[in-house]
Amino acid sequence: MAVYRFRLEKVLDYRKDQEEAIWQHSALLQQEVQRCQDLLSASEARKAEALASLREMLQQVVEAGQIVRQRAYVSWLDEEVQARRRDLAEARRRLEECRSQLLQAHKDRRVLERLKERSWEAFCQEDQRQQQKALDEAAANGFLRQTALQGAGVGAGRGEGGGGLG
């Protein structure tokens, strides 16, 4: 049997490596999305606490400066929450882009794998055809040899038996 070699094996290996690298990048981006979600949740919780504290201050007798500072803090937290939401949206966008690249890399790899499978099947069929051809040739040669031997043996028998005209 001949040795099978897929001529695009290096390209297939490259595609596998590329898909793996994109998959790992996707995992990192998923962690980034989770981190952004956690930061947003923490900022929203701090804002909710600050708003509750401001409501309490408004119901009690406190210095006006304290209320102004608390409102400024709430306003700053509101900006932080908005920034965290933008960060989260950007992280999700990058993750979706990476997932799209991963899907394309997977498709590219599968195309080559299917090509390799078909190439292997064609190789096996050709090898089987060559083996059958060799067997057929061997059988034909054996038959011809056998026929030649029988023909020579039969002819020799006639000559010895005196069956000639003469």
Helix H or strand E segment including 141? helix 64-160
Judge contact between 37 and 87, C-beta under 8 A: no
Judge contact between 19 and 105, C-beta under 8 A: yes
Tokens of 73: 């803090």
4 CB neighbour count, 10 Å cutoff: 11
Q: What CATH number is given for 9-116 in this structure?
A: 1.10.287.1700
Boundaries of every domain in the chain: 9-116
Kindly report, residue by residue over 112-138, the tens digit of the pLDDT.
999 999 999 999 999 999 999 999 898
How far, in Å, CA of 6 to CA of 123, rounded?
10
* pLDDT exceeds 90 at position 98: yes
Of all residues in the chain, what percent carry a pLDDT higher than 90? Answer: 74
